[in-house]
Amino acid sequence: MTGEPKPTVGLFVTCLVDAIRPQIGFAALQLLEEAGCVVEVPQAQTCCGQPALNSGDDRDAAHLARQTIAAFEGYDHVVLPSGSCAATMVHGYPELLAGDPDWAARARAMAAKTHEITSFLHDVMGFMPRGRRCDASATYHDSCSGLRELGVAAQPRALLTQVEGLEMRGLPGNDACCGFGGTFCVKYSAISNAIVTEKAEAVESTGADILLAGDLGCLMNMAGKLHRRGAKTRCFHTVEVLAGRAQGPAIGEDAP
């Protein structure tokens, strides 16, 4: 990094982090700055448009895509603490705007510099957290979009090995969907419930203190089910542990 200008990053915190758990956004901000980036949080961000995209409402999805591109395309990189929202920008936007002569190239250009945060820290910035400690056992769920659409698998695990005291345990069926699926979980709630019940059982079977994942949607689904079942597992976004912010309340334990 020495001598070179610091890369600029536009941080898209995602609508769920904005409303439900701002701490994930602050953890992301902190890690990006530690990694040597100049981070900005454009005020024009709301939602990436995935609910519209996955519901077949391309008109609204395309509108949100253009709005988001306009707000973020000026940065060197666009980073999100979510594999699924990042995948929407990387794959969804270019597809949505492919037929729009004014926007197709801009969508592709933005897709090329959009990253899920752990893969950005690890692959692009070569960053490793230092001096982090978390005395607990933890298990990691691979959220589907990040895993299959962006190849996020080794990066979060590599970063987590740097956290002292953290004992990682394998999760049976770690790459099976948790049943969230965005609007799926309310449109087909009975099926979603059956899926997340199995996921909760798998998490409980590890006996881990903490469940980690890289997408708040999946985390809310799993944490909500674990809590309803009376499990003691605490749920955090990966970046919260990496930023040393897992000392405080876990998801659902409190809402400051």
- Work out which of 30, 34, 63, 137 binds another protein, going by CB under 8 A: 63
CA distance 51 to 60: 10
Q: Does 54 bind another protein (CB under 8 A)?
A: yes
- The footprint of another protein on this chain (CB under 8 A) covers a number of residues equal to 69
Cβ 210 to another protein, closest distance in Å? 15
Candidates 72-80, 126-134, 154-162, 170-178: pick the segment binding another protein (CB under 8 A): 170-178
Between residues 89 and 251, which has the closer beta carbon with respect to another protein?
A: 251
- Work out which of 31, 79, 138, 195 binds another protein, going by CB under 8 A: 195
Residue type, 181: G
Which residue in the block uniquely carries the two structure tokens 């969907």? Answer: 177
Secondary-structure breakdown of the chain: helix, strand, coil percentages, each rounded to the nearest 5: 50, 15, 40
How do 164-169 and 133-140 pair as beta strands? parallel
Q: Does 7 bind another protein (CB under 8 A)?
A: no
CA distance 226 to 142: 17
Token pair of 1 as six digits: 């990094």
CA distance 245 to 175: 26
In the window 9-28, what residues touch another protein (CB under 8 A)? 13, 15, 17-22, 25-26
For residue 77, the tally of other CB atoms under 10 A from its CB is 20
In the window 68-127, what residues touch another protein (CB under 8 A)? none
Cβ 256 to another protein, closest distance in Å? 7
Q: C-alpha distances in angstroms, 247 versus 141, 219, 253?
A: 20, 18, 12
Binding site for another protein (CB under 8 A): 13, 15, 17-22, 25-26, 29, 41, 43-47, 49, 51-58, 60, 63-64, 67, 144-145, 148-149, 175-177, 179-196, 220-221, 223-225, 227-228, 249, 251-256
